[in-house]
Structure 1
Amino acid sequence: MDSKPFLEPGPEEPARPQPPLPVKIVVAGGFGVGKTTTVSVISEIPLLTTEAAMTEVAAAIDRTGHVPEKTTTTVALDFGCITIDDEIKLYLFGTPGQDRFGFMWHDLTQGALGALVIVDTRRLEECYAAVDYFEHHDIPFVVAANRFHGKLEHHLDDVRWALAVSDETPLISFDARHRRSVRDALLSVLHMSLAKAEYPG
């Protein structure tokens, strides 16, 4: 008597869809340039933030003159995510902007594909450290001038000259309060970073 297999082969199961590829993007810049706003506007999950109320001493140190309405500050990170399509999901890590929290940048940038460096054109000196960091660590980045009150203080060509970034580094303007504008800025980082990864040098 012929033995039969314990389980008969059944119909072929449809292939399960693969989860989107996780891609880490860092959102960086100086104090009060709009990093938390950028991450919160685009994130599809509630923003994970480590903001703390600012004291009078901290306000003096961090020079809140151009952002007097700012009453809190990020002391560790902001975290959010956004699914781009079936293939890619961005995980966004916002850095603290103050120099005294700079020791956290190394951990936050580990494994990042690229970065969005946000600048306030009224306070360009606040952004030198972020630009220098990503250039020094060879992490692809896009410089994004935040349009505070819908306008820029300086033309983008002047911003590029002041920050001394090369022509190969994309420099754009965007509005951190508007989801579509933030989406376009992040897509600029994604496309540029993927191109660098595919064709380095």
Structure 2
Amino acid sequence: MADSDTVTRAAPDTVKILIAGGFGVGKTTLVGSVSEIAPLRTEEPLTAAGLGVDDLDGIERKKATTVALDFGRITIGDDLVLYLFGTPGQQRFWFMWNDLAVGALGGVVLIDVRRPRTSFAALDFFERRGIPFVVGVNGFYGEHPYPPEEIREALALPDHVQVVLCDARDRASSRDVLIALLDQLIAAAAGPDGDGRLAHPVG
């Protein structure tokens, strides 16, 4: 093919997204279900050393835990790639959240409605740092006993924060949560002084 016939495709934009939430809410599962590459996981078995430290109430069958991060990637269209960074959930690993959040354009707070208190710290983390986020409500066993508006009221979420019912095991469902976040980010960028393009944070 002649050089004049060669089409140069611009490199896609890359966006860093943080997946946060409490211990055992399904962050590793969500990243793994949606990632187009084999996800990087830093899971270690739960041991007796964590007894009395890790809150296993309601998740007694859990056998492993993320100790650093989960990482995955998903391509959205031809011009956008999302890099997904899942945070560890236990309080003893929260000190890593600040480093993982550097450069993140937005976040997903994953909620288990059986144990909503476990994700309060993640909600506070994003709100204090001004990082836009959506709330993904992971329906364990495919069950969603509460509608989004009841969850919004219970968590005292502002109107602009979307609440999305999902199943972290399902690729399409997890992708819908990420699309909801992107829609929210684009809408914010298209405000009175915006141009609709996603702006990358500095730092």
Fold equivalence (TM over 0.5): yes
Equivalent residue for 2:153?
161
Which among 45, 50, 61 is matched to residue 42 of structure 2?
Answer: 50
8 A Cα contact 1:27 1:118, kept in partner? yes
SS at match of 2:42: strand
Equivalent residue for 2:188?
196
- Higher Rg of the two aligned structures: 1
Q: Give the C-alpha shift of residue 116 in structure 1.
A: 0.8
Q: Distance in 2 between matches of 1:200 and 1:66?
A: 45
- The runs of 5 or more residues in structure 2 that have no matched partner are 194-203
Equivalent residue for 2:198?
none
Identity %: 47
Which among 96, 101, 117 is matched to residue 104 of structure 1?
Answer: 96
Query: Does residue 113 of structure 2 align to residue 121 of structure 1?
Result: yes
Q: Distance in 2 between matches of 1:63 and 1:200?
A: 45
> Which stretch shows the higher mean deviation, 26-35 or 96-105?
96-105
SS at match of 2:16: strand
State the Cα deviation string for residues 37-91 of structure 1 (Å, max 9, x = none).
0000111111101111111242542222312221111111000001111110110
State the Cα deviation string for residues 67-126 of structure 1 (Å, max 9, x = none).
222111111100000111111011000001111111111111111111110000001110
Q: Distance in 2 between matches of 1:42 and 1:169?
A: 22
**Cα separation, partners in 2 of 1:200 and 1:128, compared to 1, 3 Å:** farther
Q: Give the C-alpha shift of residue 16 in structure 1.
A: 1.3
Equivalent residue for 1:29?
21
SS at match of 1:166: coil
Q: Distance in 2 between matches of 1:108 and 1:114?
A: 12
Q: What is the RMSD of the two structures over their aligned residues, measured on CA atoms?
A: 1.7
Equivalent residue for 2:83?
91
SS at match of 1:28: strand
- The runs of 5 or more residues in structure 1 that have no matched partner are 1-9
